[in-house]
Homo-oligomer: A and B are copies of this chain.
Amino acid sequence: MQTVKVGLLGLGTVGGGTVDILTNTLPEIERRLGQKIEITIIAVRDLTRSRPVDTSGIILTDKPEEVVNHPDVDIVVELMGGTGLAKTLLETAIKNGKHIVTANKALIAEHGNALFSLAKEHNVIVNYEAAVAGGIPVIKAVREGLAANKIEWVAGIINGTGNYILTEMKKPGADFAKVLKVAQELGYAEADPTFDVEGIDAAHKLTILASIAFGIELQFNKVYTEGISKVTADDIRFAQQLGYEIKHLGVASRAENGYSLRVHPTLVPKDVLIANVNGVMNAVMAKGNHVGPTMYYGPGAGAGPTASSVVADIIDIIRWKNQPVADQVPALGFAADQLESAPVVSIDEIETCYYIRCFVKDHSGVLAKVTAIFAESNISMENVHQEPSVEKPDDATLVMITNSVLESKMNEALLSLAQLDAIDGDIMRIRLETLG
C-alpha cells in the first residue's frame, strides 16, 4: 500500500473533524481506497493550546509556510478561512505542485477563477466540496451526477443559521430578534450575525453553484443579496395561510439575456419538498433539462459533516492524481476554455411572483385604490387577503400574492403604492418561486 501525505492549514472545528476522521474511520477509508493516508503536518495559530483531538505523530507548527513547502506533503488542506493569507499560502502550495482541498467558500467565490487557472498551469487539482452545503456532496452531484443535463436552475437553503431562525419564527410568540438571540446562545449564530443573516455566506455558496450549473466564471460581486432580518413572524404566518413557507434561498437561473444570481427570502409552495427542510439543515435543488428536479439534503455545517466532504475530496485526489488534470473533471465542471460569457443580469430584469404585505388605514375604498395601481401596471393578483392588524389596531393588514411580473415593473407599482395616503409604514415585498 502507498501512503499519501496530507498537510493541514488550521486545526479549528473542521480541522479537528478532519483529524478525527483520518484517525478513527481510517480503516474503513482504506478498505475503499486501497492506499494509506497520513496527516504529516498541521499549521496552528497557537502551539501552546490544548487540542480536543489526538495529534501524536503529527508535526504541529505555527509557521503555515512550512506546510505548503513541506517536501513530503502531497495534498494541502486549507481550513483556516479568510481570503488573504489563505490565498497566498495556496498559491505557494500550487506552485510547489501540491494538490489542494479547501472548505473556504469566500476564497473560492472571490478568487476561484485565478486559483483554478494557476492550478491548471501547475497540473494540480483544487477540490472544494465542503465549501457549499457542508456535508452534502452537492458539488459532485451537480458537476458529475447531472453532467448529461443542461441545468435550468439551482435553488438552495445554503445557510443553516438563517434556516434555523426562519424555522423557529414559526413558533407562537417568536420574532426575529428573540430567535436570533437564542441562536447566538446555542452557537448557531455568531455574535455579529451579519454574514449569515444578511445572506453574504449564502451568496458565496450560490456563486459557486451557479458556476458549476451553467459553466460561467465565478462572479460573487454580481449576486443580488437580501437578508432575512426584515421578515416578520406575521409574514411567515400569512405565507403559511396561503400555502407557502418562507425560506432564505439562493437561486441561480437562466434569464433572457444571461443568468440571474440572487439570495433573498422566498415564498415556496408547501408541497415542494424543500419547503419542509427545517432547522439548521441545508438542501439544494437542481433542475436539469432531462432529469427534472432533484434535491440534495443534509447538514450544512459542523465538524463531522464538513470534514466528511474534506476527506471525500482527499480520497478523490488520491484516485485521480496520476492522471493529467486536463483529462479530469474541470474545476467548474466545464472545460476552462468553454466557460460562457453571458452576463449576470440585474435584479430588475428577473420575472417572478411576489408576496406584498402592507398596513392600510382601514377606510372604505383603499383596496380599490391599491388594486387599481397594480392593474395600471398590468400586474394581476393570485390572492388578496385583508384582516385587522394586531400590531396597528387602527389599520388593516393587506396581503397580496401577484402573478409573474418583471421586477422593474413591480418596483414602479410599489413606488406608486407607497405614495398613497392610506398606506401606513413600509411595504414588505418577498419574491415567490414555485420551483416546478
| Distance in angstroms between the alpha carbons of A48 and B129 in the assembled complex | 49
A141 touches which of B145, B150, B299 (Cβ 8 Å):
B145
* A22-42 contact mask (Cβ, 8 Å, vs B): 1 or 0: 000100110111100000000
CB A319 to nearest CB in B, in angstroms, measures: 6
Complex contact B288–A308 (CB within 8 A): yes
A304 touches which of B291, B305, B327 (Cβ 8 Å):
B291
| Distance in angstroms between the alpha carbons of A334 and B25 in the assembled complex | 14
| Distance in angstroms between the alpha carbons of A140 and B29 in the assembled complex | 16
Q: Interface of A with B (CB < 8 Å)?
A: 17, 20-21, 25, 28-29, 31-34, 129, 135-137, 140-141, 144-150, 215, 271, 273, 276-278, 288-299, 304-305, 307-312, 314-316, 319, 322-323, 326-330, 333-335, 338
| Distance in angstroms between the alpha carbons of A82 and B373 in the assembled complex | 64
**10 A-B contacts, Cβ less than 8 Å apart?**
A32-B215, A32-B335, A136-B294, A137-B145, A137-B146, A141-B145, A147-B311, A149-B308, A292-B299, A296-B296
| Distance in angstroms between the alpha carbons of A56 and B387 in the assembled complex | 63
A25 touches which of B149, B292, B298, B338 (Cβ 8 Å):
B149
List 17 other contacts, CB 8 Å, given A137-B141, A271-B278, A294-B297: A25-B148, A31-B338, A32-B330, A33-B147, A34-B335, A34-B338, A137-B294, A141-B145, A144-B316, A146-B312, A147-B311, A273-B277, A290-B305, A294-B298, A295-B295, A297-B297, A322-B327
Complex contact A147–B29 (CB within 8 A): yes
Q: Are A308 and B335 CB-contacts (below 8 A) given A28-B150, A29-B147, A140-B140?
A: no
| Distance in angstroms between the alpha carbons of A29 and B297 in the assembled complex | 26
Complex contact A297–B319 (CB within 8 A): no
Q: Are A298 and B308 CB-contacts (below 8 A) given A32-B333, A141-B137, A145-B137?
A: no
Specify which chain B residues have a CB less than 8 angstroms from the CB of A333 in the assembled complex. 32
| Distance in angstroms between the alpha carbons of A276 and B295 in the assembled complex | 13
Complex contact A25–B145 (CB within 8 A): no
| Distance in angstroms between the alpha carbons of A292 and B315 in the assembled complex | 19
